[in-house]
Amino acid sequence: MGGLAAAPAALAALDEVRFGVPPWPGVTVKTEVAAQLMEAMGYETRQRELAVSVILEGLTRGDIDVYLGGWYPVQTDMVEPLIENGEVEKLVSNIQGANSGLVVPRYVYDAGVTSVADLDRYKKRFGGEIQGIEAGTGINTAVLEAIDNDLAGLGDWRLRESSTSAMLAQAEQKMNDEEWVTFVGWEPHWMNVSFDLAYLEDADDAGIAAIESTVWTVVPASLADEYPALHRFLSQFTVDIEDQNEWVHGYSFEDRPADEVASDWIGAHLDTVAGWLEGVEAKDGTPAIDAVKAAYE
């Protein structure tokens, strides 16, 4: 990897930093934070809302430069082959200790549905349906594989794929009526604050419940050599779950624009930002943190 002295010239050749963004609130605001910092450093950015599979393909083709939502283990089978082929780099774990899987309302959990293995016993109560998020995402794939392989008796169940917002609206309506529903849940997310939920334990190695997750930054394998300053910034861009909870709450629960949530947070947390930008130069060769402070103080 080239030295930091080469960073300004290398980054100057990058006309636009392109982020691939799945339609998930956490990744949306996290990407906005990173993009605003890069813009303060003097670079153009563009955020493209795409399905995960399209984002990963874009990383290999040079159409996408940064993906901040590499959710493991549910995306492991999607990302690892690209790493083995030398096409992408799993740069840094930007979120650690997150959970994802199937959730039920607390009243359903208290009624005896504490594991994926309990679902089929109450198939009629659930309508034989699991509420999912966007097609092509790792957790949906895990659910579909469990159905295809008849794990935990789910062989004759159906996954209803939709947008995250539509899934949560449907789930909220059912919970308001105290109907039984199971759907894809994860943290950090405002759903864990707004709804009284319980995460189901796994069964039959179905791989779709109570998954301890890590979220990775995924970039093209060539990024380190071609744009070392960008690579360094992204390698240091790690987010506390508490901060991401705050971002998602502001964006999704309070319904504030992502750019406003990001801007307000950056201005109030310049000490954290300074750690992300340690040793990183702005486009004009000055310390990146100075450029950011000038923009936000």
Q: What is the DSSP string of 55-68?
A: HHHHHHHTS--EEE
Together in a domain, 205 and 285:
no
Report the CATH number at residue 45.
3.40.190.10
CATH number of 113's domain: 3.40.190.100
Query: Is residue 72 located within the same domain as residue 122?
Result: no
- Give the range of the structural domain holding residue 184, as residue numbers without chain letter: 98-212
Query: What residue type is assigned to position 111 of the chain?
Result: A
User: Mutual orientation of helices 25-40 and 288-296 as an angle, nearest 10°?
Assistant: 100
Count Cβ atoms within 10 A of the Cβ of residue 272 and give its class: 0-12 exposed, 13-18 middle, 19 or more buried: middle
End position of a domain, from candidates 212, 233, 268 = 212
Q: Are residues 49 and 130 in the same domain?
A: no
Final residue before a domain boundary, out of 212, 247, 268 = 212
The token duo for 59 is 């990383």
Identify whether residues 74 and 137 lie together within a single domain.
no
**Cβ–Cβ under 8 Å, residues 209 and 76:** no
In this structure, the answer to whether residues 199 and 292 fall within a common structural domain is no
pLDDT at res. 178: 97
Q: Which of 212, 237, 256 is where one domain is finished?
A: 212
pLDDT digits (tens), the chain, 297 positions = 333 333 333 444 567 999 999 988 889 999 999 999 999 999 999 999 999 999 999 999 999 999 999 988 779 999 999 999 999 999 999 997 777 789 999 999 999 999 999 999 999 999 999 999 988 877 788 899 999 999 999 999 999 999 988 999 999 999 999 999 999 998 878 888 789 999 999 877 777 766 677 899 999 999 999 989 999 999 999 999 888 888 998 998 899 999 999 999 999 999 999 999 999 999 889 999 999 999 998
Whether 206 and 244 share a structural domain: no
- Length of the chain, in residues: 297
Q: Are residues 280 and 136 in the same domain?
A: no
Whether 86 and 230 map to the same domain: the answer is yes
Q: Which two tokens stand for residue 170?
A: 């449907």
